[in-house]
Amino acid sequence: MPLLEVKQMTHFFGGLRAVHDYNLQVEPNQIRGLIGPNGAGKTTIFNLITGVYDPTEGDIVLENDTIKGLQPFQIASLGLGRTFQNLRLWRHMTVLEHVKMARYSKITYGLSGAFFDTPKRQKEEHEIEQLAYDLLDLVGIRHLAGQVVTNLPYGAQRRVEMARALATEPKILFLDEPTAGMNPEELVQMMEIIRRVHQEIGLAIFLIEHRMRVVMELCQIIQTLVFGEVIAEGTPEEIQSNPKVIDAYLGKEVEV
């Protein structure tokens, strides 16, 4: 049984058909990739599954329950963690605060704890903090915990996004171009982090990437999207040798 299943999802932005008849099955502990040229609809697919937009047609099922029509925070609480292509960090908050914030829906001390600083709240805030530090260790930025995110270099900001998404305790992690804008050194480190997350936490991962090297090395199954439609799906080898993919996408990349 797949962990996440998307069935015949179609979405229109006004008259523009951004996604057409999209299907997806993510198995537990699988790393899947989604590639495609600019404007193909990759981010839109992420936004549809995570509840930012409500699909015009189709169904989305997470572990037997449909999540279509739920609010983004509900879907996130159910186990769909994500990062953003264009970093969406909170500019006045520290790295540690970012990671702690992602525990929001798991907090049990409630408003009475928030107002009166009860022992229960102190204990729980302390636990959240420990967990946050562990995640910062995992992505290698513990030493930046107290920094306000706007002061950080780009690579570190991407890691904050990663740690924050992990703190929601996802069952599947959605990564939207996790290496975009990174230099080769940062790229290698980020791939290492993704591998570690996959192995140590055993997460299923669904990632969008432009860099072929990253997708081909990490993913078990890859989909290629062009104009909102999947034109090919298969292992990295199959994708690399698929004439349609080469024609629509890879060919151009090779030329460049």
Partner 1 sequence: MELNVEYEEGNRSRFRNLLHKLWEPYKHVPLLGLLLAALVAVLLEMLVGQPLARLLGMSKAPALFGVIVVLKTPILIPSVLLYILLIYALPIAITARLTAKLTNFIAAKLFNTSSGLSILIHIAFLYAILHLWTSISDYRLLIVKLTLISIIITLSLNVINGYMGEFSCSHPGFIALGAYTASVFTIVLFVSENQFGEAVLPPEWGPFLFPIGLVLGGIAAAIGALLVAIPSFRTRGDYLAIISLAFMFIVVSLFNNLEIVGGPRGLSNQPDYANLATIFVWTMLSIWIINNFVRSTIGKALNAVRDGELAASAMTVDTRKTKMVAFLFAAFWAGVAGGLFAHVIRYINPGTFGIRKLAEVLAMVYLGGLNSVAGSVVGAVGFNMLSEALRPLEILKWIVIPVMLILLMIYRPTGLISFTELDPIALVKPKSMTEGEADNATS
Ligand X SMILES: Nc1ncnc2c1ncn2[C@@H]1O[C@H](COP(=O)(O)OP(=O)(O)OP(=O)(O)O)[C@@H](O)[C@H]1O
Footprint on this chain of partner 1 (rule: CB under 8 A): 50, 52, 71-73, 76-77, 81-82, 84, 88-93, 97, 100-107, 109-111, 113-117, 121, 125, 128, 164-165, 167-168
Give the nearer residue to partner 1 in terms of CB position, either 102 or 248.
Answer: 102
Shorter beta-carbon distance to partner 1: residue 117 or 137: 117
The radius of gyration of the chain's CA atoms, rounded to the nearest angstrom, is 19
> Which of 77, 85, 118, 147: binder of Mg ion (CB under 5 A)?
85
Among residues 14, 21, 53, 13, the alpha carbon closest in space to that of 225 is found at 21
Does position 43 interact with Mg ion (CB under 5 A)? The reply is: yes
Output DSSP code: residue 50: T
Which one of 31-39, 139-147, 155-163, 244-252 is the stretch in contact with ligand X (CB under 6 A)? 31-39
Asked if 40 is part of the footprint of ligand X (rule: CB under 6 A), the reply reads yes
Cβ of residue 128: shortest distance to partner 1, in angstroms? Answer: 6
C-beta of 18 vs 203, nearer to ligand X? 18
Integer CA distances (angstroms), 241 to 122, 142, 233, in order: 57, 42, 12
What is the rounded distance in angstroms from the CA atom of residue 222 to the CA atom of residue 32? 6
- Output phi, psi for 217, to 5 deg: -75, -35
Coil vs helix vs strand at 42: helix
- Token readout for 20 is 């057409």
Single-letter amino acid, residue 209: E
Least distance to ligand X from the beta carbon of 169, Å? 26
Q: Given the rule CB under 6 A, which residues bind ligand X?
A: 13, 16, 18, 36, 38-44, 85
